[in-house]
Structure 1
């Protein structure tokens, strides 16, 4: 007797949003940022410090620095997980503080959570994005090293020998390759991490939902991607100081993007078991 065909994974409904919706998400994220205060800004401070370490580690190898920061943007949705948790707590009328942040990063270790798929899904997805980021770092470094007409060691070298190289198309190739690698990653992660945090779903369900969201709202999410990139680059251009505000702002706004785009009411909520911290 043939085995029955497995039923498709239950996926949440995806809503259509207006093209200008990302500006509303930024406004709501800005509100959450200042409602959480120091707890939000602490995330930005940690990530700005991490960026400074990248600069020190790269030294004069500017090609490595460019690739590392590109990879950093790939894994940013994972690093913002506790910012989503802070916004969710505000939405539920719960107090926010150190306990919310600590629980977000430690609850998946509990056996009862692991038995239900739990927060290991956050870890698995984070590892996948980290591998993708590492791949882009290596690809970017190889491209610049092999094809640049002169060695690239500093930002000005990059401008002269890559961006403004006469008769060459290395910069266009670099941008195109970056876009080809980042577009599917953005589509896979735009709502995945908030959904994994909020509902009992696995990584495949979260990624499929994220892709459906992008395909349903291509214009709004293209604008959202541009705003994320613009604010992040602005934060980097201010010697990383601007990231202290930009990172938590975008993290909180991403939670509101998820809430506007996805109706996950048909899926069980991810809550800690009774009596468990």
Structure 2
């Protein structure tokens, strides 16, 4: 039997390819790199001031609304708050744009945020790598988040030995239940969903904002980033989870600072991990993208 030919080697100066799809170069970073991203994100947070904090205020207000609507239905609230982490990369899009503008020495203001969220309207739907790629990716994450909320609610309501209506009920009948393995099952399913979603989205949205790539390119790049830097990315995931839980534990007030901080830091994570210089830069559309 003939020996299969090795895959073609990309010529010097060309971008790496996976299955014929052009991907940017992924850099290896040290384990402590996430701490540098947090430091850079902290600087951007205070350079942008209220422009960043208003994002955190809006997210905290949304969390308060969830608390009010699901006050006596904690089985729903637990899934909603954990599902929030799934769509967070989309909600932070304008924070990436603010950090990008600071990096390029451009002025930042309300116009930066407004243009970030409205440019897709001037793009043709079928253009490969257009602004609609960001919309598609956002919809995919939203569907994944909704799926987890429904899964979490079904698990708790169907398998809990007693109704779960308050945080105390969740602690007593799910976390500290003497029989069954509901909490372990809840955590396992959440982890099985969260891990691939984190790997698919950790640099995807910043890349989609920065370069003319489609959703598949962005997701493959994100996976390659995690596979190239497993330990730093595990630490980054733990820091994101820990800081978010800290923000929630302060009656959501801490989210006003934590969420924009993590958004800006995520931009610096993307810049440190991904060398996208060979890919076409995403420039503002005039009328069509």
TM-score range, shorter chain: over 0.9
1:137 aligned residue: 149
Whole-angstrom distance in 1 between the partners of 2:77 and 2:65: 11
Contact 1:107 1:113 in 2 (8 A): no
1:179 aligns with 2:191: yes
Q: Secondary structure at the match of 2:53?
A: helix
Aligned counterpart for 1:205 among listed residues 202, 210, 217:
217
Please show how residues 58-97 of structure 1 align to structure 2 within 5 Å.
58-97=70-109
Contact 1:29 1:250 in 2 (8 A): yes
CA displacement, residues 204-223 of structure 1 (integer Å, 9 cap, x when unaligned): 00000000000011100011
Please show how residues 257-268 of structure 1 align to structure 2 within 5 Å.
257-268=269-280
Whole-angstrom distance in 2 between the partners of 1:253 and 1:114: 32
Structure 2, gaps ≥5 residues long: 1-17
Q: Secondary structure at the match of 1:271?
A: coil
Contact 1:108 1:114 in 2 (8 A): no
Whole-angstrom distance in 1 between the partners of 2:123 and 2:201: 26
2:48 aligned residue: 36
Contact 2:86 2:145 in 1 (8 A): yes
1:11 aligned residue: 23
Q: Secondary structure at the match of 2:278?
A: coil
CA displacement, residues 8-49 of structure 1 (integer Å, 9 cap, x when unaligned): 111000011001100000000000000000000010011111
Aligned counterpart for 1:150 among listed residues 157, 162, 168:
162
TM-score by length of 1: 0.95
**Distance change in 2, residues 1:231/1:260 (3 Å):** same
Cα RMSD of the aligned pairs, angstroms, is 1.6
2:63 aligned residue: 51
- Higher helix proportion: 1
Aligned residues: 271
**Runs of 4+ that moved beyond 6 A:** none
1:237 aligned residue: 249
